[in-house]
Amino acid sequence: MRQFLAANDIENGAVLGIYGAGGFAREVMPILARRFKDTGHALKLVFIETEPKASQVNGYPVVSEEAFFALDASKRYFNIAIADSKARETIAERCISRGAAPLSLASHSADFLDANTIGEGALFCANTVVTSNARIGRFFHANIYSYVAHDCVIGDFVTFAPRVSCNGNVHIEDHAYIGTGAVLKQGSLERPLRIGKGAIVGMGAVVTKDVPAGAVVVGNPARPLERKG
């Protein structure tokens, strides 16, 4: 299957769900709508929430997961607009096991250059760029203005907040979270810069050295976050 489905690839009568109905989900729904709403096919676009708090958000129905799977549909697609990577993983595996297909989404202003591989369920917001020869795992989030440069290797369920600068030859392990405006120094093919599993890079950090798994780093140059008390 191609990385990103075009409007014509989606079956008539399909339902397309964005899991979440919070701020980020409201930013993602327009990406979905612009790609798929006016195909001439009868497609239904919905927000999915574990416990819907409203029946509609921005003109789109909000349905429970049960209701999503009960809808009369030729096929069910989903993406997950939830930054919490563990929640994203749980929801992803459950929806896939129930027969829904992950739908990777990219804004029209997202750009992808050469020879990249991108896992299922990815989300690329406006003005994101993946340059060349990057390998990205499943259910990646690239929020607005983030980039992934050449030869980066990114694991599963990794999250980039807005304007993350991920320079060449950076390796990021599963479930890492990179905060707004963080800058990750380039590594080399022989010695990539590594961000360990589940690590958190704070907003505005300038990362010049490897970050161990599970660490929280902030500042310029990035250092482990020291908590008082």
Ligand X SMILES: CC(C)(COP(=O)(O)OP(=O)(O)OC[C@H]1O[C@@H](n2cnc3c(N)ncnc32)[C@H](O)[C@@H]1OP(=O)(O)O)[C@@H](O)C(=O)NCCC(=O)NCCS
Tell me which residues touch ligand X (CB under 6 A): 143, 161-162, 179-180, 200, 202-204, 216, 218-219, 225, 228
Q: CB of residue 177 vs ligand X: minimum separation in angstroms? A: 7
Q: CB of residue 47 vs ligand X: minimum separation in angstroms? A: 18
Residue 200, φ and ψ in degrees, nearest 5: -120, 125
Amino acid, res. 2: R
Q: What sign for the dihedral angle of Cα 191, 196, 173, 148?
A: negative
Number of Cβ within 10 Å of residue 140's Cβ equals 26
Q: CB of residue 83 vs ligand X: minimum separation in angstroms? A: 6
Sheet holding 44-49, edge to edge: 56-57, 60-64, 44-49, 15-19, 76-80, 101-102
Q: Which residue, 43 or 148, has its beta carbon nearer to ligand X?
A: 148
Q: Which residue, 86 or 98, has its beta carbon nearer to ligand X?
A: 86
Report yes or no: 33 and 97 within 8 Å, Cβ to Cβ.
Answer: no
Q: CB of residue 23 vs ligand X: minimum separation in angstroms? A: 8
Question: Burial of 190 by CB count in 10 Å (0-12 exposed, 13-18 middle, 19+ buried)?
Answer: exposed
Phi-psi region of 127 (alpha: psi -120 to 50; beta: other; left: phi over 0): left
How much helix, strand and coil, in percent to the nearest 5, is found in the chain?
15, 30, 55
Q: Which residue, 92 or 178, has its beta carbon nearer to ligand X?
A: 178
Q: Which residue, 162 or 168, has its beta carbon nearer to ligand X?
A: 162
Q: Which residue, 35 or 163, has its beta carbon nearer to ligand X?
A: 163
Question: Which residue, judged by CB position, is nearest to ligand X in the bound state?
Answer: 202
Please identify which of the residues 41, 108, 141, 150 carries the catalytic annotation.
150
Question: Burial of 18 by CB count in 10 Å (0-12 exposed, 13-18 middle, 19+ buried)?
Answer: buried
Q: CB of residue 217 vs ligand X: minimum separation in angstroms? A: 8
Residues 196-205 as b/e (b if ≥16 CB within 10 A, e otherwise) read: bebbbbbeeb
The question of whether 141 is a catalytic residue gets the answer: no
Residues assigned a catalytic role: 150
